[in-house]
């Protein structure tokens, strides 16, 4: 095992514990993955709690999903692989069942191409447009194709009645983007039906120019 792989295994443990302590993960819900330099993927094992990961037991799989080392991977690893397939710059993927983000994913949306308003500059910078991927039952491999299609043009998405999937140039970036998404979802519900002032199209365009994803 290379030093880089060991460091990334330790990083998964650290961020998993942080997400669990911040109540963005619960039970055995949610999974994290990172891509190694050789193209193989480290992903949290099936039925594991993000709050109690063991670096040595984290799954290592090929880009096609074959187990190379560690415990059997998360049953949701297949949609992590779909993201990596179409986003060559993605080095990590975070999937959570965080409360407010999941709540947004359960709502009816007239426009499923972007289901949260640009309430803050940080949401625009770290999340951007947030499409809603149609519902598929857990384990349904058709979800991989739906995620793959959304990931071609978005690094963040919501799975309907399920939760967020966010890719990043590092695990830290993906985790921070997931946290920003959850905070924006929380603001969305706190504001409710009261008059609000999301960022204008001009403001969003300026942010995207100065801080390109």
Residues designated catalytic: 76, 122
Residues 85 and 56: their CA atoms lie apart, in Å, by 26
Nearest Cα neighbor of 50 from 163, 183, 145 is: 163
180 touches 108 (CB < 8 A): no
Residues 139 and 3: their CA atoms lie apart, in Å, by 33
Q: How far apart are the first and last CA of the chain?
A: 32
46 touches 88 (CB < 8 A): no
| 209: Cα within 13 Å, side-chain hemisphere | 6
Helices H / strands E in the chain, number of each: 7, 8
């Amino acid at each position: 095992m290379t030093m880089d792989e060991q460091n990334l295994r330790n990083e998964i443990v650290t961020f998993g514990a942080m997400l669990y302590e911040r109540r963005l993960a619960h039970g055995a819900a949610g999974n994290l993955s990172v891509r190694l330099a050789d193209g193989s993927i480290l992903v949290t094992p099936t039925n594991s709690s993000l709050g109690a990961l063991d670096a040595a037991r984290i799954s290592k799989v090929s880009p096609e999903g074959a187990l190379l080392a560690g415990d059997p991977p998360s049953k949701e690893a297949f949609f992590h692989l779909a993201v990596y397939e179409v986003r060559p710059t993605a080095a990590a993927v975070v999937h959570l069942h965080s409360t407010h983000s999941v709540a947004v994913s359960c709502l009816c949306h007239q426009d499923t191409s972007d289901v949260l308003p640009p309430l803050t500059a940080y949401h625009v910078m770290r999340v951007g447009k947030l499409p809603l991927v149609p519902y598929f039952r857990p384990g349904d491999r058709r979800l991989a194709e739906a995620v793959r299609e959304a990931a071609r043009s978005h690094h963040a998405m919501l799975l309907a009645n399920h939760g967020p999937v966010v890719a990043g140039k590092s695990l830290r970036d993906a985790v921070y983007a997931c946290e920003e998404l959850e905070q924006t979802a929380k603001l969305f519900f706190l504001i409710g039906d009261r008059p609000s002032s999301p960022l204008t199209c001009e403001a969003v365009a300026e942010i995207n120019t100065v801080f390109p994803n």
